[in-house]
Amino acid sequence: AVRCRAVPCRAVRCRAVPGRAVPCRAVPRPPGRPWPAARRPLVPGAWRRGAGCCRLPGDPFVACAPATSCSRPARLGRVLIKVHACGVNPVETYIRSGNYARKPALPYTPGSDVSGVIESVGEHVTAFKKGDRVFSIGTISGGYADYAVAAANRVFPLSDKLDFKQGAAIGIPYFTAYRALFQKGHAKAGESVLVHGASGGVGIAACQIARACGLKVLGTAGTEEGMNVVLRNGAHQVFNHREANYIDKIKEYTRMQGVNIIIEMLSNINLATDLHLLSCAGKVMVVGCRGTIEINPRDTMSKESSIIGVSLFLATEEERHECATALLDGIEAGWLKPIVGSEYPLEKVVKAHEDIIHSSGARGKMVLVP
């Protein structure tokens, strides 16, 4: 190993190729030019077997070799989880591409929504013990792996009413949906909500939560199967967003009064139209976005409507606790039932990332199974 002299970075050591130094993992790849194989930054061994890492923004995943035994005990305030399933979220593809506002240090192993069994606990962790079934809303080491390290305050007990795949479908989708509806949208019983793109993980979560809390729930989906899933999970009415006139159908259904809240999964496509579907003082909650869009600000003035971004990364400890309490109560009451869609083995993670972005018609939460 030699000290990296390329740029100041957190990775102070890089491996060497005979006769020359290798750029460290913090060196950006030249635009449009992949690194030659011999000079591509090397990935230090992952802390767990079979992890899916990316070396550089936009790189496909690679399998990292083990560097430390997975039996190593968890550190202060952390737990080590034997992963039984891990949810896949669109935001993880944005982060991997390098186009997301949050840019983690490389090499990066995605995966926040882990479910599994506690392998070990660190000092001062009293809420869990070895063998407990749990799910998480965040990891430190990444969940696309056989083992994952997580802060104890990001881990919650998994009810025996749910299997591990369902446990991996709770975290980001349900916490995001609850935050969008109540912590940011301040939804109230009796109001109406349109879930624009309701057949995916966050969409189904929003439908279940909104229906259980007394809202009038409208949803959209792009396939017949997706529409049926939405109806079975809380929506009073569903529309096919692939039909040319579906916006007119929504307006007709609401008697031209609009809806109080829109949960928007693809704002770069739908935001301008959403503003015409709101009632007076209505709100668009931006949960997902894959690009830019041009809107007319006058469309917000005419109804005094609001466009509000939603980011679970910015939730406070108190807000996360509020989400967890409500959702755990929902599991026990029986109305929170995560729907698992496509399942992939860990070695097919590249295919999973392609499908979550490009496949038409979501129908539940996508999960990886190590």
pLDDT at 102: 76
Q: What is the distance, to the nearest Å, from the Cα of residue 55 to the centroid of all Cα atoms in its chain? A: 21
pLDDT at 95: 85
Q: What is the distance, to the nearest Å, from the Cα of residue 348 to the centroid of all Cα atoms in its chain? A: 18
How far is the C-alpha of 171 from the C-alpha of 165, rounded, in Å?
Answer: 12
**Lowest-pLDDT range of 103-117, 234-248, 266-280:** 103-117
Average pLDDT over residues 93-106: 81
Q: Output the pTM of the full model.
A: 0.82
pLDDT at residue 65 tops 50:
no
Looking at per-residue pLDDT, the higher value among 50 and 122 belongs to 122
How far is the C-alpha of 270 from the C-alpha of 249, rounded, in Å?
Answer: 16
pLDDT in tens, 210-229: 999 999 999 999 999 999 99
pLDDT at residue 8 tops 90:
no
pLDDT at 94: 84
Looking at per-residue pLDDT, the higher value among 44 and 281 belongs to 281
pLDDT at residue 334 tops 90:
yes
How far is the C-alpha of 204 from the C-alpha of 365, rounded, in Å?
Answer: 9
Average pLDDT over residues 262-289: 97
Q: Which runs of E-coded beta strand occur in the chain?
A: 2-3, 13-14, 16-17, 20-21, 52-53, 62-63, 78-87, 114-121, 133-136, 147-151, 155-157, 192-196, 216-221, 237-240, 259-264, 278-286, 306-309, 340-345, 365-369
What is the percent of the chain with per-residue pLDDT over 70, rounded to a whole number? 79
pLDDT in tens, 177-199: 999 999 999 999 999 999 999 99
Q: What is the distance, to the nearest Å, from the Cα of residue 40 to the centroid of all Cα atoms in its chain? A: 29
Average pLDDT over residues 154-169: 98
CB 300 within 8 A of CB 231: no
Q: What is the distance, to the nearest Å, from the Cα of residue 28 to the centroid of all Cα atoms in its chain? A: 25
How far is the C-alpha of 260 from the C-alpha of 218, rounded, in Å?
Answer: 11
pLDDT at 97: 81
How far is the C-alpha of 254 from the C-alpha of 170, rounded, in Å?
Answer: 31
Looking at per-residue pLDDT, the higher value among 205 and 5 belongs to 205
Residue type, 6: A
Residue type, 97: S
pLDDT in tens, 286-327: 999 988 999 999 999 999 999 999 999 999 999 999 999 999
